[in-house]
Structure 1
Amino acid sequence: MFPRLHIVTDSLDVVRGAVGHGPVAIQVRVKTSDRAAYELTVAALDVCRAAGDALCLVDDRVGVALAAGADGVHVGAEDLPVSAVRRVLGPEAIVGATCRTPETAVAAVRDGASYLGTGPAFATTSKIGLPSPIGPEGIAAVVAAVPGTPVVAIGGITADRVGLLRSYGVAAISAIAANPAGAAKAFLAALDERGEA
């Protein structure tokens, strides 16, 4: 089963704390260098493999994902096109794509995306320069446009807000960082309580 909780981080401590409490996808997001991203990905993969129910994805850096042997990659609108990433990583890799509208969601799935990251759902300070939040209604419109494709909502999401979103799953950054184990448990419990959306 594809994890419903995605954790975006540049910290191995967060990975270690968040993994082991249920199915999660770790998305390694490192903004400094390929070397730093590679080293963190290799270390995160060890943690994820030991847990047995965690995937390890790399944000933006397709070459790092390939070199490290990660489960896949997540690309944004300014990164390589989904179709190009799919050609490089092959048919088995997980390829996530960031989408804000039903039209871009349909195009990404057509080009080979395995899942979609959609948002920002709510206002957030985790990333600079984000567009205005699309809200639960915007998330729902993307979900409706791509039936059968997991849609992971991101942006300003806390465990308390999980019930407001009718997406397959959620991604968290700052809401996980301070207490990775406790936050991961809270998110997973909230997702279980909400059920399949």
Structure 2
Amino acid sequence: MTRSPESDARTRLVDATTELLWERGYAATSPRAIMDRAEVGQGSLYHHFAGKEALAAAAFEHRAAETFAAADALLSADRPAPQRIRDYLLRQRDVLRGCPVGRMAQDADVLTSAPLQEILRTTFTRLRGLMRSVVAEGIRTGDFPADLDPQELADTVLAVVQGGYVLARAQGSAVPFHRAVTGAVALIDHAATPTTGSST
């Protein structure tokens, strides 16, 4: 189906904003930069969106949905719980660009924008809940010990990933990230019962 010029312009605006938010963050992304990247005029921007915040919310929601879907594909796979968490930790990432969702939490302007803050909060709440459910399932199946706290381990795994991004970007090298997730995998292997073992 051929898209209309109006829908094509809207798509280009969202795509351009999605990339610019990841590259520069919200505060440093101007409407002019978005229009230049999308190759549209001011009229198109304000025809589709009330302003920068509304456009950023549409772009951020799109990126957040993609990020959650990628995590869900690994964490909901038909594999033992410890292996799913290992797969999540070790999956291929564009480390030096940072997490497209977590990076937004470092932008003060995002934290004062109700729509953007809500997307950020909701995405991490869903991701924490998904990770917690995987750990809880592992406890039920005997892959993790019964005295393990699902939320503590879930938050630890997510904190390692997000903190690994920060260390890598600060050093300009992906090495600290890979060390962090490798260390987290070792923790998962230690926590897992002997029957699951490590397959990484």
**TM more than 0.5:** no
Larger strand percent: 1
Q: When the two structures are superposed, what TM-score results if normalisation uses the length of structure 1?
A: 0.26
Higher relative contact order by CA 8 Å / sep ≥ 6: 1 or 2?
Answer: 2
Larger helix percent: 2
Q: When the two structures are superposed, what TM-score results if normalisation uses the length of structure 2?
A: 0.26
Greater C-alpha Rg: 2
